[in-house]
Amino acid sequence: MKEHPILFNSEMVRAILDGRKTQTRRVVKGNKNPVDDMLNGLIEFDGEKAIFAHQTHADNYTTQSIKCPFGKVGDRLWVRETWRQPEDFEGYDRGAVLYAVSEMDAGAKWKPSIHMPRYASRITLEITDIRVEKVQDINEENCLKEGIEKYFDDGVYYYGEYDKGHCDYKHVFKTLWDSINKKHTWESNPFVWVIEFKRVKK
């Protein structure tokens, strides 16, 4: 069993803490990036590595093997989120760690999630399944597993803060995806690692 860091924004951290998020999708990247070349195709995935075919000429193909950077089933992910350690004058215990998603102090100088060290992480996830698919292959059930929240207002269900009044799970997930993935958009339909997980209680 190995541990790997993984970044989540505050909204997704909140969804994990609430127990709503049990999946994440991350763009597959390699030397010949299968995201940007629509001629690439997935041949197989063995649980650790994905094999892609790349068309170089009319009848010529090469293959590339891409190892999942997040590990395999049974490995653990430690979550990096926006954080800080307070100054002595703030009255916290020495060595305390504060998390932006759980604090009301919007004026504080928070540190980016990418700079969070292992000791500061409060969330550990165990990988229960990994697969490779196109991002647009997601279905409604898995949209909810991605953390989309369901609300009810004036007799209408809606999903997440992005689309009040809109009852299409995939439309809401598309909006969420594009808000996070500026380069690899929903429209480009990239290959993604689909990582399912459960939270490890400490």
Task: Render pLDDT for 19-40 as a digit per residue (tens, 0 to 9).
Answer: 999 999 999 987 655 545 555 7
Count Cβ atoms within 10 A of the Cβ of residue 39 and give its class: 0-12 exposed, 13-18 middle, 19 or more buried: exposed
- Strand order in 49-55's β-sheet? 41-45, 49-55, 61-67
Tell me the pTM: 0.84
Least confident of 3-12, 87-96, 105-114: 87-96
Beta bridge partners of 67: 49
pLDDT digits (tens, 9 = 90+) for 59-90: 777 888 899 999 999 999 999 999 998 876 77
Give the Å distances, CA to CA, from 99 to 16, 81, 179: 14, 7, 22
Structure tokens at 72: 């395999």
Contacts of the segment 31-35: beta carbons below 8 A, 24+ positions apart: 31/64, 32/62, 32/64, 34/64, 34/66, 34/190, 34/191, 35/184, 35/188, 35/190, 35/191
Q: Average per-residue pLDDT in the chain?
A: 85
CB-CB contact of 166 with 159 (8 Å): yes
Q: For residue 142, what is the enclosing H or E element?
A: helix 140-145
In 97-175, where do the E strands start and end?
98-99, 124-134, 150-153, 156-159
